[in-house]
């Protein structure tokens, strides 16, 4: 099942609130300091916050995708079935790869360090992963040539997640997110 074909959840406003909450948390908390894993305990005034939220600031190194997959697996280890954890791990790897490849702001310089956010909502049995970058370019799934070695990342995200999208950030850049029912 692809993300575009997903059936309506029992309470769509509640499910939608998960990725909206995470995008707002990213905006509110800003960029965390570089480091491997930072557990966050953000408090949502309206009670919509997750049971768990962690962030990983990813260095632009060849092992970045591996670090992101390990982060997702470790974070969700006891919270979801192994198959779903693998779906999340592959998705964060794809989103992170896109952020490292396309995520520099126009005319931007310096080292890219996207952040990977992963939040779990126990009462809704879902997780949302989000990757930030500095680019204002809209992420678009494209039809890659069958012999192409790249260009299928967002197609993979669409197939593995239940829903995905992006939100612009107030200071420039964007958050690309994917939601998973666990």
Q: How does pLDDT run across 66-102, given as a tens digit for each residue?
A: 999 999 999 899 889 999 999 999 999 999 999 988 8
CA-closest candidate to residue 25, choices 58, 61, 50: 50
Mean pLDDT calculated for residue range 46-65: 79
Please state which CATH class domain 3-181 belongs to: alpha beta
More confident residue, 45 or 27: 27
pLDDT of residue 152: 85
pLDDT of residue 2: 40
Mean pLDDT of the chain: 80
- CB-based contact 101:64 (threshold 8 Å): no
Bridging pattern class, strands 115-121 and 52-57: antiparallel
Q: How does pLDDT run across 121-150, given as a tens digit for each residue?
A: 877 889 999 999 999 999 988 887 777 677
Q: Rounded to an integer, what distance in angstroms lies between the CA atom of residue 111 and that of residue 82?
A: 34
Q: Work out the angle at residue 98's Cα, subtended by the Cα atoms of residues 92 and 99, and round it to the nearest 5 degrees.
A: 85
Q: Which of 20-24, 54-58, 86-90, 102-106 has the lowest mean pLDDT?
A: 20-24
- CB-based contact 176:18 (threshold 8 Å): no
Cβ count within 10 A of residue 176: 25
Residue whose tokens read 């990213």: 26
Residue whose tokens read 């690309």: 176
Mean pLDDT calculated for residue range 28-36: 63
Q: What is the pTM (predicted TM-score) of this model?
A: 0.82
DSSP state of 141: -
- CB-based contact 182:79 (threshold 8 Å): yes
CB-based burial label for 33 (10 Å; 0-12, 13-18, 19+): exposed
pLDDT of residue 61: 82
């Amino acid at each position: 099942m692809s993300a575009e074909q997903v059936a309506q959840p029992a309470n769509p406003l509640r499910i939608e609130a998960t990725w909206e909450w995470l995008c707002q948390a990213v905006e509110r908390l800003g960029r965390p300091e570089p480091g491997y894993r930072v557990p966050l305990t953000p408090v949502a005034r309206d009670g919509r916050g997750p049971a768990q939220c962690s962030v990983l600031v990813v260095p632009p190194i060849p092992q970045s995708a591996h670090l992101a997959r390990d982060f997702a697996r470790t974070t969700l280890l006891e919270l979801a079935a192994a198959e779903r954890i693998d779906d999340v791990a592959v998705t964060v790897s794809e989103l992170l790869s896109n952020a490292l490849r396309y995520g520099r702001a126009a005319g931007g310089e310096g080292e890219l360090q996207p952040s990977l956010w992963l939040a779990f909502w126990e009462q809704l049995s879902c997780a949302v992963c989000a990757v930030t970058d500095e680019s204002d370019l809209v992420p678009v799934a494209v039809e890659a040539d069958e012999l192409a070695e790249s260009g299928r990342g967002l197609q993979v995200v669409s197939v593995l997640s239940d829903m995905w999208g992006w939100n612009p950030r107030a200071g420039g850049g964007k958050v690309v997110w994917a939601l998973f029912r666990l």
